[in-house]
Chain A
Amino acid sequence: MKNKSLFAALILVFLAALVAMPHLSGRFTVYLAMRFMILGIFAVGYNLLLGQTGLLSFGHGAFYAAGAYGMGFFWLHLSPHPLLGIGAGVAAAAVLALLIGFFCVRHTEIYFAMLTLAFGMMVFSLIWNAREITGGDDGLVGIMRDPVTFFGLGKIPIGKDAQYYYLVLFFFVLSVWVAHRIRISPFGLVLSGIRENARRTEFAGVPVRNYRLAVFVLSGAFAGLAGALEAMLQSNARPFMAHWTHSADPVLVSLLGGLHSLTGPLAGSLLFVAMREIVQRFTENWMLWFGIVLLIIILGFRGGVVGVVQNLVLRRRAEGEG
């Protein structure tokens, strides 16, 4: 009980820090905080698939890109309204995830992983080669951030980074809350049943394939939201968003932070963004140093950063009682 209220207090402090950030720190920190939140949305959604259902996908970059390009095309051809654009990005990602997922969820483990990788790289090549539509290797550039309007009932400007920050924060909190609700729902329990024992879950009367597809689409929609937000942050959508190296980001982040909690991928995202910034000041070989950290975590601390902290708290409490 004591731990629970401590945890709630920590969340409140963290939230307060995020809300106050644009007023207290420089533009670059605000930019990094947005990178963290966008990666966090990507990773939290992705972890519904990996940590909760036990499916390893190497193709979620495709849905991230679908979100970014969906948002970009909507802005370019239909309407500059940011919320509608984000909605279009999420919808595009979900539809793509439904199409790709339909084939992938028929398989598991390595076959599932390789299929997602193959589909992801197909999407990357399509974006890369369809230059007339997608801008090829240049991507879609010059996406502007128009004010958020509420159909004549007022508008909020998001042109400056310190303003856009709050839109990202809003979607970040929304995403974490939704992921939390899913984790504690009956749907989430069935997903963990599939992770633990897919065969037995079938004998519990569950159409396992449909559940896999549902969570695949859900995690794809999260990826699409992250992609749409990044497109607005960077004013462009790039083909490398769909590349498999980008698909690996949420996997690495989840491993770093810990697979089996909601806080794991969040802590992982924070560390990932912060470490990259710090390490890159000293050396070009950021991936080398990240690799070493990941190696230590995988060999010694399977629960990730969050797992290590949980163990410390448990030990402290055991000592206190003993």
Chain B
Amino acid sequence: MGKVLLETRGLSNHFGKICTADNLDLTIEERVLTSIIGPNGAGKSTLINLLTGYLPVQAGRIFFQGKEITRLPVHKRVRQGICRSFQIVNVFPQLSVSRNVMIPILALTGRSWRPFANIASEKDAHGEMEAILARVGLSAERDTLANALSHGDQRLLEVGVALAARPTLLFLDEPTAGMNPVERSRLLEDIRRLSREGRTTFVVVEHDMDVVFALSERIIVLHRGVVIGDGPPEEIRNDKTVKEVYLGEDVSDLFRYDEGDETK
């Protein structure tokens, strides 16, 4: 077990009568590439929204690196090192790719409060921006407006903007949604590489089981706001409760397909 990065105690959330987080006690460990899976409405997105401050916490507490962050607003959590990408593309559409990435860089280095500085002379920030564009493979598009990018490239930019906030813990909400297979495998390879570099711990929410089992070192299975499975991929693959509950059908076929796919 690695060092605990984030911990929740009794985290709960209800939308009316629907329970999307029921007394969750979870830990996220440093450098362990973790996936969160579960059927639609299991509470995956809610969990991310609670942890990143997008939704206010109704009950329970959240600790990050030992410090309580339950009531911290979004921007302060980002400054502590928690960032996220979004399920729907959520970038700055009318700004160029490089400007998209510059915003978090300037904000986090505290250089964005200066109304009389010139962006053009921010050498350090430009260097960092170039490095991030190179990491997500968008260097050639630096002057393109974000809304003129292909969908796959917009998703890459989404990850780039999240990385630019220098996160210690990064939640990716369905990062490969709507990508073609080439873009998908490129992004997954990137995530794996970045995770090995060790600066950032990734937590990925995914629907695609191929992706989840190929990528993760640990899988958390949610169902109606409750954790019904938590462990390394092999364990989850053979877990009976998970098989029964997940999608409410026999998913052994799905998992078998995945095994076959891996051996190719």
Contacts and interface: CB of A to CB of B under 8 A. Distances in A.
A202 B118 CA distance: 22
Contacts of A155: none
Contact of A208 (B75, B117, B165): B75
Given A185-B115, A187-B115, A197-B92, A206 B84 contact: no
A212 B192 CA distance: 38
Contact of A206 (B103, B122, B161): B103
B78 A204 contact: yes
B162 interface: yes
B99 interface: yes
A187 B94 CA distance: 17
Interface stretch (B22-30, B36-44, B106-114, B130-138): B106-114
B56 to A, nearest CB: 14
B99 A203 contact: no
Interface stretch (A58-66, A156-164, A188-196): A188-196
B83 interface: yes
Contacts, number: 103
Given A186-B111, A188-B115, A203 B95 contact: no
A206 B78 CA distance: 9
Interface residues of B, number: 39
Given A186-B106, A189-B106, A193-B95, A200 B119 contact: no
B198 interface: no
Question: A interface, by DSSP: helix, strand, loop or mixed?
Answer: helix
Nearest to B166: A205
A205 B119 contact: no
A200 B117 contact: no
Contacts of B125: 186
Contacts of B120: 184
Given A193-B95, A199-B90, A203-B162, A186 B114 contact: yes
A204 B107 CA distance: 7
Contacts of B52: 203
B79 interface: yes
Contacts of A189: 95, 99, 102-103, 106, 112, 119
A-B complex: 3 closest residue pairs judged by Cβ atoms: A204-B104, A205-B78, A196-B92
Interface of A: 181-182, 184-190, 192-193, 196-197, 199-208, 218
Given A181-B115, A182-B116, A197-B93, 6 more contacts: A184-B119, A187-B114, A192-B95, A193-B95, A204-B165, A207-B75
